[in-house]
Structure 1
C-alpha cells in the first residue's frame, strides 16, 4: 500500500509539472505575440515593388538656401520626392515647407530635433516623433506616415514609439554621403548610379554638390528606364 501511495504521489507531481510547463508555454507565446504586435510596423531599407522605380528621400534640418533650386530641378523633370523635415526646421521655415508641399512633394517626419534616437528612451522617442508630426500637421494640415530617424539611428524604443504612432521607419539603400565636405559632385553621381536598382531609396540632403549632381543623375536614371518618385512609390 505504501508503494502504491508513493507511485500515486510521483504521478501527481509529474502531472502538476506538465500542467505548469504547458501554462508557462502559453504565457511565453502570449508575450511573443505582444512583442510582434509592438514591432509590427516595417523598417524599410528599400521598397517592396519589383519594378524600375527608385525613390529620392531628402532629409532636411538645414540647407534651406539650396531647396528652391532643388525644387526647380525636380519640377523641370516632373519628379515628386519625399522631404523628411525636422519639426524645428519646419517651425523656422513654414513658408518654404508650404512651397515644398504645394509643388507636389511628399512630407515625412524626421523627428522634432536632430538627435541620436538610438540612445533615447521610449518616452523621448515618442515625444520627438509626435511633436514633429504635430508641427507639420499644424502648418500643412496633413498626417505624415513615414519616419526617417536622423543619421539612421534607432533602437527598440524608436520602433515601439513609431508603431504606436502609426509610422513606418524609412532608412535607405543608397547613401550619397553628401553631407561630408570631401564628397564631390562626381562621387554623388557614382554612388547613386552604380547602385541603382528596383525599389531602392536614395538618401540625400540639400547641399550644393547634390544640386549640381542631380540633373545628370536624373537623366541617367530615366535613360536606364527608372521612374523616380517618393517613398510611397516604392512601398505597397
Structure 2
C-alpha cells in the first residue's frame, strides 16, 4: 500500500491493501453472559426490534427498512407469531433476522428453571413451525433476567441480547425527542432497542439517514457480532 501511494504521490484509500486478522478469543469461547453491545472499534450499530404488539406500526416500519436497505433483528414473541403468521413472514421476507422474545412476555427473572425452558422452547418451536427458522439470539422481555435464564438460552444454542441505547418508545415520546435520545448516545457497536410504535415508525427514516451520515453501518445482531470489522453490503 505504501509503495503504491508513494508512486502516486498522494494518499488514496482505494490503494490500501490489508487483511483482517482474527481475534485470539472468540465469542463462542466465552462463558454465557448477556451481550449489551458489539465491538467498540466496529463502526456498526443494530436495530433490535421487540415485537409482541403494534402491528399497524410494524407495517409502516417494514417498507422504510426495505427502502433504505437496512436489515434489523426482530425478536418475536411466540404467542404473537402464532396469531400473526403473515406479519411474521413479512418480516422474514424482508431479509431480517429473527430472534426469540419469550412465548407470552413474562418476567423471566421470576420463573422456575422449568418455566424458563418452556418459554424458550415453545417460542422456538412456534418460530420454526411458522418460518422454518431456529433463532440464534434471545431477548428477555423488559430486559429482566437472572443467570438461569442466560444459561437456559445458551443450552438451546442462543445468546442473550440486551441493549446499549433505548428509544423508550413505549412512553410515546415526540419523534424529535426519540431521535435526539438515540443520536446523542449512539456509538460503535451500539444495539438500539425499539418496538413497533408511532414515534419509532415516524423516526426510522431520519435515524437511518443520520446514522449513515455519522459513518455507521446498520446490520443485524449476527452481523454486529461477526468478527469482521466491516460487513460487505
Provide structure 2 residue ranges, at least 5 long, that are not aligned to the other structure.
1-29, 227-233
CA distance in structure 1 between the aligned counterparts of 2:196 and 2:76, rounded to whole angstroms: 11
Instruction: For residue 170 of structure 2, give the secondary structure of its aligned residue in structure 1.
Output: coil
Deviation at 1:106, TM superposition (A): 0.5
Distance 1:42 1:60 in 2: 23
Cα distance in 1 between the residues matched to 2:214 and 2:39: 20
Q: What residue number does 1:26 align with? A: none
Give the count of matched residue pairs. Answer: 197
Q: Deviations over 1:89-143 (max 9, x none)?
A: 0001101101110111110000111110011111111110111000000011111
Structure 1 residue 49, shift from structure 2 partner: 6.0
The match for 1:197 among 181, 187, 195 is 187
Q: Structure 1, unaligned stretches of length 5 or more?
A: 1-38
After TM superposition, the score normalised by the length of structure 2 is: 0.82
Q: As a proportion of its length, which structure holds more helix?
A: 1
Cα-to-partner distance string for 1:133-192 (whole Å, 9 max, x where unaligned): 0000001111101000000000122122112111100000000000014x2211210111
Q: Which residue is 1:109 aligned to? A: 100
Q: Which residue of 2 aligns with 1:134?
A: 125
- 1:234 Cα shift? 1.1
Q: Which of 39, 42, 48 is 1:51 aligned to?
A: 42
Q: Which of these two proteins has the greater Rg computed from alpha carbons?
A: 1
Secondary structure of the 2:49 match is: strand
Residue 147 of structure 1, aligned match among 114, 123, 138: 138
Within the candidate set 176, 184, 209, 1:186 is matched to: 176
> Is 1:88–1:113's contact at 8 Å kept on the other side of the alignment?
yes
Aligned equivalent of 2:76: 85
TM-score (normalised: structure 1): 0.81
Instruction: Indicate the residue corresponding to 1:124 in structure 2.
Output: 115
Give yes or no for contact 1:46–1:201 (8 Å, CA) kept in 2: yes
* 1:95 aligned partner: 86
SS, match of residue 194 in structure 1: helix
